[in-house]
Every structure is written in structure tokens, then in C-alpha cells.
Amino acid sequence: MNIGIIFGGDSHESEVSKNSGLAISQACKSLGYQTTNYLLETNSIDNEINSLKKHDFVFIALHGTFGEDGALQKILEQNNIKYNGSDQFASKKCFNKSFCKEIAINDGIITPDFYVVESNICNDNIGFSSSKYVIKPNSQGSSVGFKVIDNYEKINEAIDNALDFDSKVLIEEYVGGAEITVPILGDEVLPVIEIIPKKGFYDYSSKYTKGMSEYVCPADIGTKLTSEIKDTAQRIHQLLGCEVYSRVDFKIYNDEVFFLEINTLPGMTETSLFPMSANKHGYSFKDLIDKIIKLSQKK
Ligand SMILES: Nc1ncnc2c1ncn2[C@@H]1O[C@H](COP(=O)(O)OP(=O)(O)O)[C@@H](O)[C@H]1O
Ligand SMILES: [Mg+2]
């Protein structure tokens, strides 16, 4: 089999994508597949499309805009090119955090209280019970444009900062407690991971600097919460029409599970969360990539 790996691009997550792409490419090679690397300079495959069509399968290793929001998926579908993971529609929905929260709420799933704003004229008296807020772009990943504020006066500054990354900004009630992520692969929910950032919040640097976070897998949250959070993750995956794999982010506060967001193209470097959990489940990085390819071909 001949596989094209797409990575890079010019989203805010292009550096992470390069690492995912190179790791996936290595894995494909060691699985005996022929590989071609497509390191994109921009968020476009206009120059690559004819070459991409010659492959049996394309592995999207992009994160963020273009690669994860359904735009690239749509182009590949129009050209009958097989690729990994969710289709254009599910990808688009999942990249819209407030949309996912609405879907979750309609199904009885708890998510932090929130508002969506498109400018900083945030004069409404926000009536959350918490005195801390999380301000983040509605459609981005890797915690870019993310700020926690504990003083309402700083809200406009934080909104302006997030508006640099997206036209819609999510103002969320801050939820303390444990940071949990749940990977889903095919019909299986893989071991749950607890993330413990060494200082402050799970922001971009805690995510990508070695040693800035600790991980517990399987998370030490007891059997009841483990099965509840796994069940909730799977429901969200299904409600949004996700295929093959995804990773769902949560907080657990006072034994209550809060849904934060779902990622359709989670990080895939050898040290990323999804491969860490797959490893506990008995799948090497190579096995995981092969599983994703095989499940995606059957879509
Ligand atoms: N409402 C919230 N309360 C507490 N922490 C939050 C909240 N929203 C986000 N966070 C923190 O910020 C991180 C990034 O937010 P998330 O919604 O997962 O977006 P993304 O990973 O796409 O940047 C989370 O992993 C969590 O640590
Ligand atoms: Mg996240």
C-alpha cells in the first residue's frame, strides 16, 4: 500500500502537526507501506492534489484549521481519496466547541456554563456561580488563545486576545478538579488518562514541553467514574457522527463529569496522549497507526 502523509500547514498548530506527521510517516514505513510526505507550507493542497490521487490512502496529520475542521476532508472526498478518521461533516461539527456543547446538553451531558461572543462588548452581567472564567477561541486547539481570569475586569482583554484566533469566543465557567481525556478507537474506549500540569493550567507549554505535565493512565478515579466518563465519551463521539477515532476532553469536579471538547485528529507524536493510552491497552504506536488505517479504509 502506498500512503501519503499530510502535515504542517499554517494553522496555529502546524508545529505540533509536523511532529505528528513525522511519527506517523515513520510508523507507516516500519509497517512496510510505501510513504510520501507532504509537508504543507499553506492551508491548501491545490499543488498536491494530483499527486495525492495516486495514493491508496492519505493520512491527515494536520491539527486545527483546514486539516481538522472538515475543509481538507471535503476536498479529499470530492476526489475519492480515502483518508483517516471522521468525514467532513463530523469534523466540522467537532471543531465548533459551542455546537458540541449544545449537542451534549441536549443529551443530558454536563458541560461548563458558557456564553459565545463575537466582540468584546461583554457588558452582560455573567451570572456563573464561579468567580473564575476560561476565555478561549470557539474553534481552535492546543490551548491557543486560551486564558483563565479571576477578575471580571480582565474579561475584555482576554476576549480580544482570543478574537485574534477566531471570530467566535467562548466564555466558560472555570471548572476545577481533575483533567481527564478519553481516547476512542473503533468500538473500543481506551484507558482513561489523567493529566496533571506541574504548574498553572494545561496550556500550550504544559502540553508540549517535556516534563511540564504528569500523566496517570489508567486514571485513578475509581470504577464508577471511569465507566461513567467512558460511556459519556462514547455517546459524544456517536452523537457527533465521529468515525474510527477521537479523543474527548473532560474535567471531573466533585465527582461530576464535565465535557469540554472532542478532538477528531488528536496529537499523534510518540509521546502524545492517544498513543500513551493505546500503549496501556497493548497497542504499540505502529499497531495504533495500522488500526486507524485499516478501520478508516472500511468506512
Ligand atoms: N471551563 C474550563 N474550566 C477549567 N479548565 C478549562 C476549561 N476549559 C478549558 N480548560 C483547560 O484548558 C485546556 C484546553 O481547553 P480545551 O477546551 O480542551 O481546548 P483545546 O484543547 O482545543 O485548546 C483544557 O485541557 C483544560 O485544561
Ligand atoms: Mg483540549
Model pLDDT for residues 58-86, shown as the tens digit of each residue: 999 999 999 999 999 999 999 999 999 99
Predicted local confidence at residue 127, as pLDDT: 67
295: left (phi over 0), alpha (psi -120 to 50) or beta: alpha
Give tens-digit pLDDT for 94-119.
Answer: 999 999 999 999 999 999 999 999 98
Least confident stretch, 11-15, 26-30, 217-221, 286-290: 11-15
Q: For residue 211, name the pLDDT band (cuts at 50, 70, 90).
A: confident
Pocket-testing residue among 113, 136, 166, ligand 1, by greatest number of atoms within 8 A of Cβ:
136
Q: For residue 120, name the pLDDT band (cuts at 50, 70, 90).
A: confident
In terms of Cα–Cα distance, which of 242, 246, 293, 288 is closest to 269?
Answer: 288
Residue 126 or 48, more confident: 48
Q: Beta-strand (E) ranges in 119-208?
A: 133-137, 147-149, 169-173, 178-185, 188-189, 193-197
Nearby residues for ligand 2 (ion, Cβ within 5 Å): 249
Predicted local confidence at residue 135, as pLDDT: 95
Distance 47 CA to ligand 2 centre (A): 31
Q: Whose CA is nearest to atom 26 of ligand 1?
A: 202
CA end-to-end span of the chain, whole Å?
A: 17
Domains in the chain: ranges and CATH: 2-84 (3.40.50.20), 93-109+176-297 (3.30.470.20), 114-173 (3.30.1490.20)
Distance CA 274, CA 232 (A): 17
Pocket-testing residue among 94, 202, 236, 265, ligand 1, by greatest number of atoms within 8 A of Cβ:
202
Distance 194 CA to ligand 1 centre (A): 14
Residue 241 or 132, more confident: 241
pLDDT exceeding 70 applies to what percent of the chain? 97
Predicted local confidence at residue 125, as pLDDT: 65
Four-CA torsion 162, 166, 167, 172, nearest 10 degrees:
-50
The atom number, within ligand 1, closest to the CA of 175 reads 3
Residue 15 or 107, more confident: 107
Q: Which ligand is nearest to the CA of 68?
A: 1
Q: Which helix (H) or strand (E) holds 208?
A: helix 204-208
Distance 185 CA to ligand 1 centre (A): 22
Residue 184 has pLDDT above 70, yes or no: yes
The atom number, within ligand 1, closest to the CA of 263 reads 22
Distance 141 CA to ligand 2 centre (A): 6
Residue 279 or 140, more confident: 279
pTM over 0.85: yes
Q: For residue 122, name the pLDDT band (cuts at 50, 70, 90).
A: low
Q: Which ligand is nearest to the CA of 133?
A: 1
Least confident stretch, 17-21, 199-203, 242-246: 199-203
Q: For residue 205, name the pLDDT band (cuts at 50, 70, 90).
A: confident
User: Which residues does a 6 A CB cutoff place in the pocket of ligand 1?
Assistant: 112, 134, 136, 141-143, 146, 172, 174-175, 179, 201-202, 249, 251, 260-261
Distance CA 229, CA 135 (A): 24
